Amino acid sequence: MRSKLVVELASRVKNLPPYLFASIDKMKQEAKRKGVDLIDMSIGDPDIPTPQHIVDALKVAAEKPEHHRYPSYEGMLSFREAVSDWYKRRFKAVLDPKDEVLSLIGSKEGIGHIPLAFVEPGDTVLVPSPGYPVYPISVLFAGGESYIMPLTKDNGFLPDFKSIPQRTLMNTKLMFINYPNNPTSAVAPKEFYEEVINLAYKYNIIVCHDAAYSEIYFDEEKPLSFMEIEGAKDVGIEFHSLSKTYNMTGWRIGFAVGNREIIAGLGKIKTNLDSGVFEAIQEASVTALSTDDPILNGIRKTYQDRRDILYKGLANIGLELAKPKASFYLWAKVPKGFDSSGFVAHILEKAGVLSTPGNGFGAPGEGYVRFALTVPVERTKEAVDRIKKAL
C-alpha cells in the first residue's frame, strides 16, 4: 500500500505573511454571504469602465491572426515606441524604445521580478513602509533582506535617508520608492528625487520607482516622474501601468523604463519565466497611450469629486487626514480606542463599509486606515453617513 504524499511548502512560502488583499477579499465574501449591502472602499480597482475607444481597438486587434501567436518577449516595438512618445509628451523625458522600454504583464509582475535579476542572498533592499506588499515579498523570494524605511506624517511620508546606518547602505543593492504613494497618497518634490539620485550614486544602489498613480492627480497639480530628473536614468528605472490611468486593471499590461542595463536584467528574468503580453492588448494599449486629454480629465474629475466628498465627510466626523493631491486613496488616522484592524472590523460590522487596515501595509501603518475612491458619489456619501452613525 502506497503511503500518502507529504506535501511540504518551501521555506520562502512558509514565511510569507498572508497577502493583504487576499485577506480583504475573504472579508468581502463573508459580508456578502451574510447579505450585507457592502460599500467596498478597500482595493484600488477602478469601477469606471475602460474608455470605449480602447475596447474597440482591442476588438479589431483580437481579430488579427498574427496576434494569436507567441508575442515578443520585450514587447512590440510599436508599443514601446508609444510608451516612449508618451513619456516625451508628458514628462519631456527621452527614452530609446529599443532598449530603455520593456513591456510587463502589469507593473506588479515587474516589481515582483526585479530583485531576482540583481539581489543576491543576504543583500539589502530598502523598502518603504507602509507600502505596497509586493516590495518586501519580492525581496524575500530573491533571498534578500528588506530594510524598512518608515514613512511618517512628520516627514511628509517620505523616507528619512539620514537615519539609515552607513553599513546598511553599503550592503544595499536596490531601493523601492513609490510616488504618488500607495497607501498614504503623498507626492514627492524634485528635491527628494535629487536626494535619491545622490544616494544611489554614492552607494551604487539601483533605484526602482513605482509610478502607477502619476496620472491620478487633482487640482491640476501634475506629479513628477523620476525619469524627468537629471541623473535618474543613470541609476534606476520606473515602473508604470495602464491599470489606473485608463481603468485597465484587468488587462494586465504595464511597462518599465529607464537604465538600459537594468531593463536588460529584468528582461532576462522575464524571457525565462513568461512569454510576454498578448499582442492584441499591446496594440489596444498604443491607442490608450494616445488618448485625448478630455477623456483623462473626465476620469480625474470623477475621482476628484469623490475625494472632495469623502475627505470633507471623514474630516467632519473627526478623523485626522490630509487632502490627497494624487492617487485615489485617503489615508486616515483611526479614532481613539481603535487599532487599524479593529476599526476596519467595526465599520464593516456596523456600517457595511469595507476599508483596508493600515498595518496591512507594514507595521508603520498601524493606527491608520486606507479608503479607495472606487465607488460612485452617491455611495461615497452613503458610506460617510453610515460611518458617522457607526461611530
- Residues 193-242 have pLDDT tens digits of 999 999 999 999 999 999 999 999 999 999 999 999 999 999 999 999 99
Which residues lie below 8 Å from residue 112, measured CB to CB, with a gap of 6+? 134, 137, 138, 141
pLDDT of residue 80: 98
Question: What average pLDDT does the segment 116-130 reach?
Answer: 98
Structure confidence by residue, pLDDT tens digits, 9-56: 998 888 787 777 777 888 888 888 888 899 999 989 999 999 999 999
Domains and CATH numbers, the chain: 17-46+294-390 (3.90.1150.10), 52-289 (3.40.640.10)
Number of neighbours of residue 299 by Cβ within 10 angstroms: 20
| CA dist., res. 120 & res. 260, Å (int) | 20
* pLDDT band at residue 360 under the 50/70/90 scheme: very high
* Cα–Cα distance for residue pair 186/164, rounded to 1 Å: 21
Torsion angle of C-alpha atoms 339, 361, 21, 391, degrees rounded to 10: 30
The residue behind cell 452617491 is 378
